[in-house]
């Protein structure tokens, strides 16, 4: 689904989410409808930019755990303390094909914490060693599966047996 133009359903979800923000609701309540609409439009355009990045950046991915849900977009990270089920932007990114790493089933937190980070630019270190060294997204997925993470929209090439 990557590279497909934004559909009406995506825009509808983003508009509904922006309109539901407490600040926008309060602005409407006190009669500042035009300001609320302008802020909602800005939020929708920002979120569309995030979705485009999620579809095009080589190491973009969504990760969800006990500490919340994060959309990693190279040098930008969008996050919330909520699970992915309550983060529409992340759910849309995953629905559109962005790799999703669900670490909620992982119980060995120490093993997970010592993993290296994903490289921001799509490159990977051919000899990853230690938690500070960046690795490619596919290498990272190989590593997080061992402690029990679940993967959706796996970007790794399929292995035929």
Q: Which pLDDT tens digits describe the chain residue by residue (161 residues)?
A: 444 455 788 888 999 999 998 999 999 999 999 999 999 999 999 999 999 999 999 899 999 988 899 999 988 899 999 999 999 999 999 999 999 999 999 888 888 888 888 887 655 545 555 556 788 899 999 999 988 999 999 998 875 54
pTM: 0.81
According to the model, what pLDDT value does residue 7 have? 78
According to the model, what pLDDT value does residue 129 have? 53
Tracing tokens 């500070």 back to the chain, one arrives at 132
Cβ pair 61, 101 in contact under 8 A: yes
Measure the CA angle with vertex 85, ends 84 and 88; round to 5°.
75
Which letter does DSSP use for residue 116 in this model?
P
According to the model, what pLDDT value does residue 150 have? 94
Sort strands 68-73 and 61-65 into parallel, antiparallel or unpaired. Answer: antiparallel
Cβ pair 38, 27 in contact under 8 A: no
Which letter does DSSP use for residue 7 in this model?
P
According to the model, what pLDDT value does residue 1 have? 43
Taking the C-alpha atoms of residue 96 and residue 91, their distance in angstroms, rounded to an integer, is: 9
Cβ pair 125, 135 in contact under 8 A: yes
Instruction: List the alpha helices (DSSP H) in the chain.
Output: 8-20, 22-29, 33-56, 88-95, 109-113, 137-145
Taking the C-alpha atoms of residue 34 and residue 135, their distance in angstroms, rounded to an integer, is: 46
Taking the C-alpha atoms of residue 5 and residue 57, their distance in angstroms, rounded to an integer, is: 16
Taking the C-alpha atoms of residue 82 and residue 145, their distance in angstroms, rounded to an integer, is: 22
Sort strands 150-152 and 100-102 into parallel, antiparallel or unpaired. Answer: antiparallel
According to the model, what pLDDT value does residue 28 have? 92
């Amino acid at each position: 689904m990557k590279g497909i133009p934004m559909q009406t359903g995506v825009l509808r979800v983003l508009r509904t989410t922006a309109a539901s923000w407490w600040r926008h609701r309060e602005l409407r309540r006190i009669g500042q409808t035009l300001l609320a609409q302008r802020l909602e439009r800005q939020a929708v355009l920002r979120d569309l930019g995030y979705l485009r990045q999620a579809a095009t950046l080589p190491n973009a991915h969504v990760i969800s755990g006990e500490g919340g849900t994060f959309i990693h977009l190279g040098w930008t990270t969008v996050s919330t303390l909520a699970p992915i089920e309550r983060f529409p932007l992340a759910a849309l990114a995953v629905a559109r094909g962005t790799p999703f790493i669900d670490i909620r089933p992982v119980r060995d937190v120490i093993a997970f914490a010592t993993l290296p980070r994903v490289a921001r630019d799509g490159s990977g270190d051919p000899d990853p060693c230690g938690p500070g060294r960046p690795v490619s997204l596919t290498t990272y997925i190989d590593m997080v599966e061992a402690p029990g993470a679940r993967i959706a929209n796996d970007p790794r090439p399929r292995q035929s047996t």
